[in-house]
Amino acid sequence: MKKWILAVAISAAISGCAIQSANNAIDVTTAQANLPAGVSLVETVSLTDSEIGIAYKKYRLANGLTVILHQDTSDPLVHVDVTYHVGSARELAGRSGFAHLFEHMMFQGSQHVGDEQHFKVVTEAGGTLNGTTNSDRTNYFETVPSNQLEKMLWLESDRMGFFLPALTSEKFEVQRETVKNERAQRIDNRPYGRLGERFAQAVYPEGHPYSWPVIGWPEDLDRATLDDVKHFFERWYGPNNATLTIGGDFDEAQTLSWVNKYFGEIPSGPQVESATKTPVTLDKTRYISMEDKVHLPLLYVGMPTVYAGHPDEAALDLLANIIGGGPTSLLYKNLVKEGYAVQASVGHPCQELACQFTLYALANPATGGKLALLEEKIDQSIAEFEQRGVTDEDLQKVKVQFEADTIFGLQSVRGKVSTLAANQTFYANPNMVAQDLARYQSVTKQDVMRVFNQYIKDKPKVVMSVVPEGQSQLVAKADNFTPTALPVAAEAVTGLTDIKPVVSSFDRATMPQVGKAPVLTVPSLWTSSLSNGIEVMGTESEETPTAELVIYLEGGHRAVPVEKAGLAQLTAAMMGESSTQHTTEELAHKLEMLGSSISFGAGISQSYVQVSSLSKNLAATLAILEERLFNPGFNRADFERVKQQQIQSLQQAMTNPSYMASNGFSALLYGKNTVMGNSQLGTVESLSALTLEDVKAFYQQQYTAGSAQMVMVSDLAKDNVISMLSGLSQWSGKATTLTPINKRLYAAPATIYIIDKPDAAQSEINIGKRALSYDGTGEYFKANLMNYPLGGAFNSRINLNLREDKGYTYGARTQFSGQEDTGEFIASASVRTDVTGAAISEFIKEIQTYQQTGMNDKELAFLRNSITQGQALDFETPYQKAGFIRRIQRYQLDPQFTQQQTQIINAITTTELNSLAKSLLDINTMVILVVGDKDVIQKQLAPLGYPIQVIN
């Protein structure tokens, strides 16, 4: 049933989504009488067909646990989320990183769940899982087939009530190393990675809970003890500080019974008071700077404003969008369009206790790269806004975008559950969707100008400069602020009270049995052709009133000669600029007023166009698509700007270790002098030589009806869709011709290649070779089955070894990837620099052992359960459905190929899979690439006995 008719007035939506009123109090009383003892019904929110929101029921257990249930029977799955109202803001000075470290600890087993079993149980059930931590909350979540719900409640309740008995110093030390590896990979070894934590130190006063990073300072992590972790759990992980949210296809009465059984006897924790929302102010503008391993200087400006949910939050969000929210904004016009910056944007990120109004710009070295000039241009843009004011179209554009973003965010059960959980955690009210829409709809021009004058105009700010190493002359202004180091808190946790151990009324050591696996329903597909022969394949999905159209064009990066590498991507970028009828800004404005997006891109062997729209605006969006597709402006000024942006983006990427590894590995496998051996971004030399005439010629070659196929997912019926697509019938042209990929080897196998990155915090390792091309049910598919226990799941041999046992990395994996006529096998990880040699040795050992002895029967049973049951999660969102359809279309698969895959999985033997391992995983046929600090790692690699070559 459709519940998303957007024409209804927001005020009607609010009144319609109200909590149960007095006239149905009898129903509530009746419902309460049928509940398990200790479970109370708090509220029920239901929707009619004309309302925007999320229907749910909210309950509370006697121990304080809040339970929210949302029914969605559209797919045979459930999403379980446990959110604890604790993040890094609850930490103390000198004791940072506990909330995030504890998130890791919670996956290490509990009294009745063995070590590493949480991941194994969920993965074997066909599910996905993770946990995240931010400043204000920590959440743990699983998406699984609907028959696995009781098992998930058993897992989550056991770590809520029975975590401490299984906590050991060995687990603690491994996870401390894992967090350090995560920090090294995501912050220390990434360009601009330390920007956020340095900026927070300057914008928040000493001791403010947002002044330290969520992941923690390294010295604080070293300072942590096992007792600190225990006390953190006892203080913050009680049921009275948690919200359990369940969405999907489940029986409500049975679910409440399970919830009460597994969670009801866990005692409440210490009382939790709401954190204080103290206004943040700056006494003067603070300038800070840092040198980093980056190519582009970056200016980041920010000032404190309000807090999440504050009455002025919506107006500040709209203000940010007007000043710097895309191609129609002032910042884009004055900085990007004029060539002073490669990128520029404004945001208003909000957290529970505080928000920031932030502006950033990546300097264009072609205009000198001086950040003082960018600061001047930003100030001029702010002054221009004051003179210009707010227009009716400004408000309408932002409100339409917010509405569209809200709808697109509710396409999955996880999206809806996350929304309910967050609203309950921070506002004690899950029912905020319609209210948020109303809040943004009610913002006036006067509101925007008022918040501008109150929070932004002439206010002190933090101005941070990030410049390439050795180029301090580019900073906006000399530093005038140094953070104060506060004394370390005597205790890591305060507010502890005595907590009684849980005495369970049943045997928790027995894992719950699961019911019959849900019947998987593959989306019902339709096919059609436009009058010019373009194939269209789609499905009707009534979850939301949205349309996702993707046009695929065979060719992409492979269709250009190597000396023109980067041309496919450059042409795609130009397709997103002006047409012969309208400027880039005018077209962007049209899309913004519709809440739609059209993006052009290019992959290795395809160019593509992706269209996202509310269904009611699809026809108008397609008219803009046709204009861009058939009448590109190819304006010379656009070309010079876009080309310069791509060159600078490439040079920036060349400072990123993961990009260096990916590009270097492709060059080893396919040859540096072939297009497959070069990045889709191109090289500085190839991009510099490209001309506007090259773009025009590639457009004629690539953007043709003969190369095109389309995929559509929408709530609209097939006939309506085809009628709207009729304008694309005027498209003509022959298919793009692709040159076959050379099969020869370009790099010597059994050789270690090093790309030097001095002072790298970690080493990027890639081990692999050319391998199988894609197929849906043949050897390629079976090779991925074979690989699953080796490195295809979290609890694979390689990840458990390198991450969980050794603490070398944040994650290690192996995979086969392929397309029509080529493929690769790759094992990869980002590891601590000091264990680079040891990590490669472990990779080699694991691959050799697996090749020689293969998997065992338990591993085969695990992959069977995991992959077959996981199919229930494959078709939930329009994006997932589109990907499924595209595989069928591109590789000419049987629409029932997933059933054939299931038959293969259930019938295949360890003998057949181990035979594949023996033939495909010979380590001596593979190359080894390491991106890291050559002076540090080379002496570690020598004892491995492989020839070593240093390459550029």
CB burial of residue 216 (10 Å; 0-12, 13-18, 19+)? buried
Which structural domains are found in the chain, ordered by start? 1-57 (no CATH), 65-263 (3.30.830.10), 286-408+436-474 (3.30.830.10), 525-730 (3.30.830.10), 752-951 (3.30.830.10)
Residue found under tokens 């939930």: 876
DSSP string, 413-457: HHHHHHHHHHHHHHHS-S--HHHHHHHHHT--HHHHHHHIIIIIT
Residue 81 and residue 140 in contact, taking contact as beta carbons nearer than 8 Å: yes
pLDDT given for residue 27 in this prediction: 56
C-alpha–C-alpha distance, residues 705 and 736, integer Å = 10
Do the beta carbons of residue 116 and residue 800 sit within 8 Å?
yes
Hey, what amino acid is at 506? Answer: F
* Distances from the Cα of 729 to the Cα of 539, 626, 866, angstroms: 20, 10, 44
Write 620-626 long-range contacts (CB < 8 A, 24+). 620/590, 620/594, 620/596, 621/591, 621/594, 621/596, 622/549, 622/724, 622/725, 622/727, 622/728, 623/727, 624/587, 624/590, 624/591, 624/596, 624/598, 625/598, 626/727, 626/728
Identify the residue whose tokens are 């710009």. Answer: 361
Dig out the tokens for 309 from the structure.
């949910």
Tokens matching residue 242: 């948690």
Query: Distance between CA 83 and CA 236 in Å, rounded?
Result: 11
- Token pair for residue 139? 């959440």
Nearest CA to 865 among 517, 511, 520, 413?
517
Alpha carbons within 13 A on the beta-carbon side of 814: 33
Q: Which long-range contacts (CB under 8 A, 24 or more apart) does 902-907 make?
A: 902/868, 902/871, 904/777, 904/781, 904/782, 904/785, 905/785, 905/863, 905/864, 905/867, 905/868, 906/864, 906/868
Task: Specify burial of residue 310 (Cβ count, 10 A radius: 0-12, 13-18, 19+).
Answer: middle
* Cβ atoms of residues 79 and 879 within 8 Å: no
- Residue whose C-alpha is closest to residue 308's, from 347, 273, 276, 354: 354
β-strand partners of 766: 828, 929
**Is residue 29 classed exposed, middle or buried when 0-12, 13-18 and 19+ CB atoms within 10 A define those classes?**
exposed
C-alpha pair distances (Å), 588 with each of 296, 595, 624: 26, 10, 10
Taking the mean position of all CA atoms in its chain, how far away is CA 163?
29
Q: Is the C-alpha dihedral spanning 884, 889, 895, 897 positive or negative?
A: negative
pLDDT along the chain (952 residues), means of 10: 29 30 45 82 88 91 97 93 96 91 90 91 93 96 95 97 92 90 89 94 94 93 90 94 97 96 95 91 96 94 97 96 92 94 95 97 92 97 95 89 86 93 96 89 95 97 97 97 90 84 89 86 91 96 91 96 97 97 95 95 96 95 97 96 93 92 96 93 96 98 97 95 96 91 86 95 96 96 98 95 93 95 96 96 98 97 92 84 93 92 96 98 97 96 96 88
Please say whether the beta carbons of 735 and 911 come within 8 A: no
Residues 6+ apart with CB under 8 A from 52: 3, 4, 6, 8, 13, 17, 406, 407, 433, 434, 437
* Rg (the chain; Cα; Å): 28
Q: Within 10 A of 253 (CB to CB), how many other CB atoms are there?
A: 11
Q: What is the spatial distance between Cα 153 and Cα 136, in angstroms, rounded to a whole number?
A: 24
User: What b/e readout covers 821-860, taking b as 16+ CB neighbours within 10 angstroms?
Assistant: ebbbbbbbbbbbbebbbbbbebbbebbeebbeebbeeebb
SS3 707: helix
Three-class SS of residue 575?
Answer: helix
Q: How far is CA 851 from the centre of its chain?
A: 34
Output the six-digit token pair for 668.
Answer: 């080893």
Residue with tokens 């895309």: 326
How many CA atoms does the CB half-sphere of 63 hold within 13 Å? Answer: 27
Look at residue 876 in the predicted model and tell me its pLDDT. 83
Kind plus residue range of the DSSP H or E element containing 864: helix 857-870
Task: Decide: residue 628, CB within 10 A, 0-12 exposed, 13-18 middle, 19+ buried.
Answer: buried
Alpha-carbon distance of 2 to 215, in angstroms, equals 42
Residue 20: its pLDDT value, please?
A: 36
Residue 830 in tokens: 């980002």
pLDDT of residue 405: 87
* Residue 561 identity (one-letter amino acid): P
Cα 430 from Cα 843, distance rounded (Å)? 47
Is the dihedral angle over the CA atoms 935, 939, 940, 945 positive or is it negative?
A: positive
Residue 130, strand partner residues: 141
Angle at 648 between CA 642 and CA 650, to 5 degrees: 105
Q: For residue 878, what pLDDT is reported?
A: 87
Instruction: Decide: helix, strand or coil at residue 502.
Output: coil
Residue pair 144/122 in contact (Cβ under 8 Å)? The answer is yes
- Predicted confidence at residue 31, as pLDDT, reads 65
Q: What's the confidence (pLDDT) of residue 459?
A: 97
Tell me how far apart the alpha carbons of residues 753 and 759 are, in angstroms, rounded to a whole number.
Answer: 18
Is residue 367 packed enough to be buried (19+ CB in 10 Å), middle (13-18) or exposed (0-12)? middle
Answer whether 787's CB lies under 8 Å from 815's CB: yes
On whether the CB atoms of residues 314 and 403 are closer than 8 A, the answer is no
Tokens representing residue 203 in the block:
């914008």
SS3 content of the chain, % helix, strand, coil (to 5): 45, 20, 35
pTM of the model: 0.90
